[in-house]
Homo-oligomer: A and B are copies of this chain.
C-alpha cells in the first residue's frame, strides 16, 4: 500500500493538482482583469492568453465562458472576447443591487455573528481608525473591502456572498471615485463603527439600517461623481 500511496502522491503532486479543468486559468485571468491589468474593451485573443497563462486553448476558452457568464467579459459570435466595459449608468445599477444585498447580509450578520467574527471585525476597525488618524487614505481604502467581506462571511449566506462578490468585481473600476470627496473618510469611518456596534449588539434591524445609510451615502457620492463628469471616459481604439 505504501507504493500506491507514493504513486498517488507523485501523480497528484504536479500534473494538475490545483489546476482542475481550467480553473487556474480562470482565476489568473479574472485576477488580471479585476486588477486592471487589461484595459476595458481590450480584445482577449485566445492564442495570446494561452501562451501568457501557459494553459491550453481549451482551458482559456472555458475561462472566457465563465467570465462571460460572470459579466466581466463579453463574447460575440466569431468575433472573440473583450473585457467588458461597464458604463457609469451600469455601475450605478450594479451598486444599487449590491446595496440591496449588503443590507440583507448586514442583517443576517447581526443575527448570526460569532465571537470570532466580531473579533476580526473589531481588528479591522481599529486598523481603519489608525489609518484615518495617520491620514493614510489608501490604507483605509484597502481595509474597506476587508471589512465588508468579513460581514459577508459572518452572515453565513454563501448565495448572497457570491453574488455580492461578483457585483463588486464588476463595478470595481469606479470605486476610487467614492473616496475623493472631502471629509468622506471620516464619515465613512463613523458609519462603519455604527454598523459594527449594531452587529455586536446582535440587532438585525439596526445593522440593516446602518448599512443602508452607509451605502446610501456611497451611492449618493457616486451619483455626484458621475453627474459632475464633463465627458465620458473615452478608450483609445487600439
Contacts and interface: CB of A to CB of B under 8 A. Distances in A.
Interface size class of A (residues with CB under 8 A): 20 to 34
Specify the main secondary structure of chain A where it touches its partner.
Answer: helix
Contact of A96 (B21, B93, B104, B158): B104
A71 B69 CA distance: 11
Interface in A133-173: 157-160, 163, 167
A13 to B, nearest CB: 15
Given A65-B65, A104-B96, A75 B160 contact: no
A189 B188 CA distance: 43
9 contacts: A20-B77, A21-B75, A21-B77, A61-B62, A65-B65, A69-B69, A93-B159, A93-B160, A94-B159
Contacts of A202: none
Contacts of A163: 97, 163
Most B CB within 10 A of own CB, among A21, A96, A97: A97
Interface in A68-92: 69-71, 75, 77-78, 90
In the complex, the count of this chain's copies comes to 2
Given A21-B75, A75-B21, A77-B20, A160 B97 contact: yes
A226 to B, nearest CB: 16
Contacts of A94: 159
Contacts of A65: 62, 65-66, 69
A109 to B, nearest CB: 13
A103 interface: yes
Contacts of A75: 21
